[in-house]
């Protein structure tokens, strides 16, 4: 007996979804572009070069003139014919250079590819290229089409334009599609009581720092407390298994100095402490910040605390649930090793 064969290909499904996205974003209707973008997605979902894992972010545009409205530094690498096989070569040439604030940019125009790198973060507190193009600061410009591509988790890639957003998962694990909202929410908690004229700038810096943390880390726990002496002293008394800093790291003060002084010294101070914060976030245990963007402790371990939320699962999950049950924190954030995230905020 001949049995009917049913076939379901991840590649075919992903290619179809990419095609629908490009159509909605009004990109040129060429199969080479669709296949080339799928090749980029497949490669950056788990990208290594010379044994080192890389996280290049790629912006595809229909005209390089789009960047005239964005202050940036740029390096043009090459121009060539639009063929799908060229996209993997672009990654090979540019991905090792796309470090720090540098992003890969590919122009698709008149069946030609022009590619290179752009750094749109002129100063340390500048919004990322992502935020300036397809994030909360992006302005829809109908004369251009955009597609921003980045890895957002294990085997998971985000493709976002001016009108739509597509998440492509190359494994069978269900991912949190609201992670961007979770990150923004915890940033807003960290900066809630900051000075109003600095709050957005501090939020931008913390957001970039968190995204860099999650990109290179293997799971994180973050707790936010009200910035008052009584609350902080109660926390220190209740949870002694923590490295509490004798002098908190005050990012509001660092950014205030950057904005006022416009000096290399202030910039270097902010950058170096940002790197320390990334290391703290990626250290074992919980990192604690106030809602005025001060780091007061890290490497905290919390015992199992029963309460309103059931405490079960892995070590980070149990710690996150216990933080909530402790009623000592204003907000909490958790990210697992496989990329799942959870956010909680106390009811006001």
pLDDT of residue 176: 59
Mean pLDDT, all residues of the chain: 91
pLDDT at 183 over 70: yes
Mean pLDDT of 331-338: 88
In this prediction, residue 89 has a pLDDT band, given cuts at 50, 70 and 90, of very high
> Residues near 207 by Cβ (< 8 Å), separated by ≥ 6?
128, 131, 183, 184, 187
> Residues near 188 by Cβ (< 8 Å), separated by ≥ 6?
203
> CA 223, CA 238: separation in Å to the nearest integer?
15
In this prediction, residue 126 has a pLDDT band, given cuts at 50, 70 and 90, of confident
pLDDT of residue 286: 97
The percent of residues above 70 in pLDDT, for the chain, comes to 95
Mean pLDDT of 202-230: 92
pLDDT of residue 212: 87
DSSP class of residue 241? S
Q: Is the dihedral of CA 305, 309, 310, 312 positive or negative?
A: negative
Pairing relationship of beta strands 48-49 and 52-53 according to DSSP bridges: antiparallel
pLDDT at 215 over 90: no
| pLDDT tens for each residue of 269-283 | 999 999 999 999 999
DSSP class of residue 2? P
**Could you give the angle at which helices 264-281 and 199-216 cross, rounded to 10 degrees?**
50
pLDDT of residue 5: 66
Residue with tokens 């075919």: 12
Strands of the 112-119 sheet, one edge to the other: 73-81, 112-119, 102-109, 58-61, 146-153, 156-160, 165-169
pLDDT at 133 over 70: yes
pLDDT at 177 over 70: no
Q: Which of 121-125, 175-179, 232-236 has the highest mean pLDDT?
A: 232-236
Domains and CATH numbers, the chain: 10-169 (3.40.1700), 179-345 (3.40.1700.10)
CB 299 within 8 Å of CB 222: no
Tokens of 70: 């964005």
| pLDDT tens for each residue of 61-84 | 999 999 988 888 999 999 999 999
Helices (H), the chain: 10-24, 31-44, 86-94, 129-133, 179-190, 199-216, 229-238, 251-261, 264-281, 315-326
pLDDT of residue 271: 92
pLDDT at 172 over 70: no
pLDDT at 6 over 70: no
> CA 272, CA 110: separation in Å to the nearest integer?
44
CB 246 within 8 Å of CB 274: no
In this prediction, residue 44 has a pLDDT band, given cuts at 50, 70 and 90, of very high
pLDDT at 24 over 90: yes
């Amino acid at each position: 007996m001949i049995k009917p064969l049913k076939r379901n290909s991840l590649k075919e499904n992903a290619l179809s979804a990419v095609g629908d996205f490009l159509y909605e974003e009004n990109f040129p209707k060429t199969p080479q572009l669709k296949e080339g973008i799928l090749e980029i997605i497949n490669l950056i979902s788990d990208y290594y070069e010379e044994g080192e894992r890389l996280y290049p972010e790629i912006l595809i545009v229909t005209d390089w003139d789009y960047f005239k409205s964005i202050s940036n530094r740029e390096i043009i690498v090459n121009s060539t014919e639009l063929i799908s096989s060229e996209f993997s070569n672009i990654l090979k040439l540019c991905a090792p250079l796309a470090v720090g604030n540098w992003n890969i940019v590919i122009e698709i125009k008149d069946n030609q590819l022009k590619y290179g790198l752009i750094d749109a973060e002129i100063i340390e507190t500048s919004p990322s290229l992502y935020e300036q193009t397809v994030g909360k600061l992006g302005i829809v410009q109908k004369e251009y089409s955009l597609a921003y591509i980045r890895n957002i988790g294990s085997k998971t890639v985000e493709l976002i334009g001016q009108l739509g957003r597509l998440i492509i998962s190359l494994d069978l694990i269900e991912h949190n599609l609201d992670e961007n909202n979770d990150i923004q929410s915890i940033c807003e908690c960290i900066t809630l009581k900051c000075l109003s004229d600095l709050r957005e700038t501090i939020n931008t810096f913390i957001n970039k720092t968190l995204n860099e943390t999650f990109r290179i880390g293997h799971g994180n726990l973050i707790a936010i407390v009200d910035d008052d002496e009584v609350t902080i002293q109660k926390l220190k008394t209740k949870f002694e298994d923590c490295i509490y800093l004798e002098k908190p790291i005050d990012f509001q003060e660092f950014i205030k100095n950057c904005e006022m002084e416009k000096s290399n010294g202030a910039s270097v101070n902010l950058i170096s402490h940002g790197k320390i914060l990334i290391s703290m976030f990626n250290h074992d245990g919980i990192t604690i910040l106030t809602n005025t963007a001060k780091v007061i402790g890290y490497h905290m371990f919390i015992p199992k605390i029963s309460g309103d939320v059931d405490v079960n699962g892995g070590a980070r999950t149990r710690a996150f649930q216990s933080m909530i049950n402790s009623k000592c924190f204003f907000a909490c954030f958790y990210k697992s090793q496989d990329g799942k995230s959870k956010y909680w905020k106390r009811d006001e």
